[in-house]
Amino acid sequence: MARFSITTAIDYTNGVIHIGHAYQKIVADVLYRFHKQVGDEAYFLTGTDEHGITNAQAAAKEGLEPRQFVDKISSLDKKEIESIGINPDRFIRTTDEDHKKIVAEFYMKSFNNGDIYKGSYEGLYCAGCESYKTLSELVDGACPLHPTRTIEKISEENYFFRWSKYKDFLRELIDTNPNFIQPEQRRKDMIGFLDSGLEDIAISRPKQKLSWGIPVPNDDSHVIYVWFDALINYVTGLKDMWPASLHLVGKDITRWHTLLWPAMLKSAGYEIPRAVYSHGFMNLNGQKISKSLGNVISPSELASRYGSDATRYYFFRYGPWVEDVDVSLEKIDAAYQSDLANGLGNLASRLTTMAEKEGLTGLNKDLVTVSDEYKDYMTELKIVEATESTWSKIKDCDRTINETELWKKTGEEKETTLNKLLNTLLVIANETKPILPISSQKIIDAITGEKIVKIEPLFPRI
Ligand code: MSP
């Protein structure tokens, strides 16, 4: 039995997640369900990233203690993903006790290997990214990802991680494992970044400046830098399923996952994850999804409008898997109508109506699984191609029904064609099950009982 452990980025708890954050959780959940379906031992980890300045500032704004505040946001985030059918094996929080312990152990392993030393840092910091910046990374003096935040000037004593020591190791890792960074364009970006040089990085903050973090184990006047803490969640959360088969992240945090994280793991003596996939960004109505622009939709709002299955479907198929995409309710409405209501829903309803009338016996569900083509696409992370291959089967079935005018036929001819189409519908339902778990199960139940029964509309008019 193959193992498949998948993780997503853990979200900052400075505010409740929106659909932009949820996108990668949807894809991860579909891949997870697919691997379980084909018999792999699968594990899915996601959660919340709760330390650091961004979270501390958001708590202070509401007049709450950080812990009270992050408890609230983390549980709302969890409800958001549950509203679209996502139930990971573990929802990790960086404030969990086992995580704090593992971060301290990890830090000491790296320290004992001579990779952590005390130094001083003077420079710029973007709290939105929780990251040090160089002047050349700013646009008009601001962080391009967080233009409304003030860039802080920092001058302080920190502990540093000897990142520069791992330059050759990282280059070899990337060169010898072409799939380590996907897709290809991000791999090229990372090689470019690596070739421009790596500097050691500050991995602690003085406690008097920021106390909301995990204490440095051998110097409690410092707390561990939020990225050093957050990345380790994968080791804490996956336990004996480490190393991860796949880290799924957004493009803004590729560098942390493909260059810093492997260096940290090597330093502390852990295995390296098998692959990091970094997807694009989603805009809403042509604008960045952002609270300050009032341009936010939540997974639960979408689920109450379209249902959890349809929400998953839209983002899985049309989300920013490689390139950035723009989404809008109009686009979701259109896809709902054409692909789901008039596509899968209509096909299932046509076929089961005819089959019930003919009194057809149910199919044996154990005989039919998914097609090899679909399976290969999913395994190779060609998720759009996988979905398109399923939808082309839906179109083929529709065409056969229309061209043969099946509803007018009678007797054996009708029964034979219907049975063939119902078998394809079973393949389709198996292939759509990871994306549309509720609707696909309804199809499977309707066509694999003792007698085939007419299915209720799966995707009613909105
Ligand atoms: N806490 C860090 C990740 C630590 S992982 C060890 C972080 N958090 S975040 O809340 O800012 O972002 C979480 C994820 O959501 C990131 O992968 C980010 O790329 C993704 N997205 C946030 N907004 C997005 C869109 N508008 N579109 C697509 N993904 C987006 O970074």
- pLDDT tens track for 339-366: 999 999 999 999 999 999 999 999 998 8
Distance 1 CA to ligand 1 centre (A): 32
Is 174 within the bounds of a domain?
Answer: no
Is 18 within the bounds of a domain?
Answer: no
Range of the domain at 440: 328-447
Of the candidates 36, 133, 146, 442, the residue annotated as catalytic is 146
Residue owning the nearest CA to atom 15 of ligand 1: 21
Is 159 within the bounds of a domain?
Answer: no
Amino acid identity for residue 453 in this structure: V
Q: Report the share of the chain in percent with pLDDT over 90.
A: 91
Ligand 1 atom closest to Cα of residue 288: 26
Using the structure block, give the residue that is written with the tokens 């920190």.
Answer: 158
What's the pLDDT tens digit per position in 16-58? 999 999 999 999 999 999 999 999 999 999 999 999 999 999 9
Nearest-CA neighbor of 365 among 427, 453, 451, 454? 427
Is 395 within the bounds of a domain?
Answer: yes
Active site annotation includes 291: yes
Give CA–CA dist 51/230, Å, rounded.
8
Is 228 within the bounds of a domain?
Answer: no
CATH of residue 368's domain is 1.10.730.10
Give CA–CA dist 244/7, Å, rounded.
7
Reading the block at residue 409, the tokens are 């036929």
Distance 281 CA to ligand 1 centre (A): 9
pLDDT at 1: 80
pLDDT band, very low/low/confident/very high, at 254 (cuts 50, 70, 90): very high
Using DSSP's 3-state secondary structure scheme, residue 153 falls into strand
Ligand 1 atom closest to Cα of residue 14: 10
Distance 192 CA to ligand 1 centre (A): 22
**Which contacts (CB < 8 Å, 24+ apart) does range 126-130 have?**
126/151, 126/152, 127/52, 127/53, 127/54, 127/57, 127/152, 128/54, 129/252, 130/12, 130/52, 130/53, 130/54, 130/226, 130/227
Is 251 within the bounds of a domain?
Answer: no
Is 284 within the bounds of a domain?
Answer: no
Is the beta carbon of 296 within 6 A of some atom in ligand 1?
no
What integer is the mean pLDDT of 384-395?
Answer: 98
The size of the chain, in residues, is 462
Tally of domains within the chain: 1
* Dihedral angle sign, alpha carbons of residues 236, 212, 133, 325: positive
| CB distance 96 to 236 below 8 Å | yes
Active site annotation includes 397: no
Using the structure block, give the residue that is written with the tokens 């004593």.
Answer: 157
Report how far apart, in Å, the C-alpha atoms of 130 and of each of 55, 66, 70, 201, 455 are.
Answer: 10, 16, 17, 13, 51
Give kind and range of the element (H or E) at residue 97.
Answer: helix 97-112
Is 13 within the bounds of a domain?
Answer: no
Active site annotation includes 129: yes
Of the candidates 25, 51, 99, 126, the residue annotated as catalytic is 126
What's the pLDDT tens digit per position in 193-228? 999 999 999 999 999 999 999 999 999 999 999 999
Name the β-bridge partners of 83.
Answer: none
pLDDT at 292: 74
Mean pLDDT computed over every residue of the chain: 96
Distance 320 CA to ligand 1 centre (A): 13
